[in-house]
Structures are given as structure tokens and as C-alpha cells.
Amino acid sequence: MAGQVITVAQQKGGSGKTTLAVHMALGFRARGQSVALVDLDPQGSLGRWFMMRLEDDPSLCEAMDFATSSAWGISYECRKLVASHDIVIVDTPPKADSDLRPALRVADLVLVPVASSHVDLWATEGVLDLAERENKAALLVLNRARPGTRLGAEVAEAARGLGAELADTVLANRVGYAESMGRGRGVTEGPKGPGRDEVIALTAEVADRLAKV
């Protein structure tokens, strides 16, 4: 059975796309599935994370693979990778235009991280519009959230009004995400804590959503 493709997309920079891509990869690998990461962002943060991991300890990359691609080449790259991996995760540049459409076209599910600000939420509308044009299901993920704040509640409520599904799991604004990424790791690979619980819960949600595709 061929694997499935998750495209992580958001028009606004700084929304946490790469952090989400990394932690979904680690989450699915922890469930015993093989994962391939594809970096479309010229900034190359996903590739640096993977190479840091590989150079530190190659065993950390077991059941994981990495590739780069251009927008026009993503269809070919994904066709190769889904033949040998359970999950392919595509990290895209911060844009919502025609260059993003090929990455949306290959997706079984589009994950859209939304940081806790109205500006980030406004930027989400362009991505959702493109996903709808490609007839692709999208799942909004509140990221870098501050639980219990009025702003967080307002953004969550407004997100529900955009017409896309909103994940139940919220990724909080935790230092652990940035610290672990900087070491080529993820919060799931450190001490037990709320960050790990968030990633496990979100991975289960995404897996459930993919099973319905």
C-alpha cells in the first residue's frame, strides 16, 4: 500500500511550519511508521535539522529519509517516496500562490499551523482558499498558543469560523520545542512532559484524519 502525503503550509513566516513538520515526523515514527521529509523552503531549516541529527548519531534517522525539491518537482519526488514510506511530510515556503499549488496537489492532508495572533489567522485564508481549489482537506493546528489567555480564545474561536477543521490538540508556546530543534531532536525525545503529550495527541488526530481520506 502506498504511503500518504502531509503538506505543511502557511502564508505567514514564523508560524512554526518546520517545527510542526519535524514533530509530526517523530510522532509517526514513534508509532512504528517510516517517514520521509521533503524540504521545499529555500531557507533549508528542515534539512539542517535532519543533517545535524544524522551527523550526531545515524541511528536517530532510522526509518526516516530526507529530500529537497522544487515546487515543479514535488509530484515526482512524492511519487518515489510514497512507494517506500508510510508517511511523506512536505515543508513549504511561507507563501500562498501558484508555487504552493503543486505541494497542495500531492497532499492527502494539508496541515496549517496558526500562531496565536489575528495576523497569523488572516494569513491562513489564502492557504485554505488554495487547498479548497485543489479539493484537499485542511486541518488547522493552533501553534505557539498561550492557553488560558483571552487572545488565544479569540483566535481559536475565529479559526473555527474559517470553514476548515480545527485540531483539538493545541501546541503551546514552549521553550522545549525550540531547544530540542536546535539540537536536532524533538520534545518527544526528551524527558516526559506536556510537550511530548501534545505531539502524541496531535499525531493520533492526524493519523485518524488520514485514515478517513
Specify the pLDDT at position 158: 74
Tens digits of per-residue pLDDT, 31-70? 999 999 999 988 899 999 999 999 999 999 999 999 999 8
The CATH H-level (homologous superfamily) assignment of domain 4-211 is: P-loop containing nucleotide triphosphate hydrolases (3.40.50.300)
Residue range 180-204: average pLDDT?
94
Three-state DSSP state, 16: coil
Tens digits of per-residue pLDDT, 63-93? 999 999 988 899 999 999 999 999 999 999 8
Quote the pTM value.
0.93
Task: Using the predicted structure, report yes or no on whether residue 1 has a pLDDT greater than 80.
Answer: no
Residue 98's contacts (CB-CB under 8 Å, 6 or more residues apart) are: none
Calculate the average pLDDT of the chain. 90
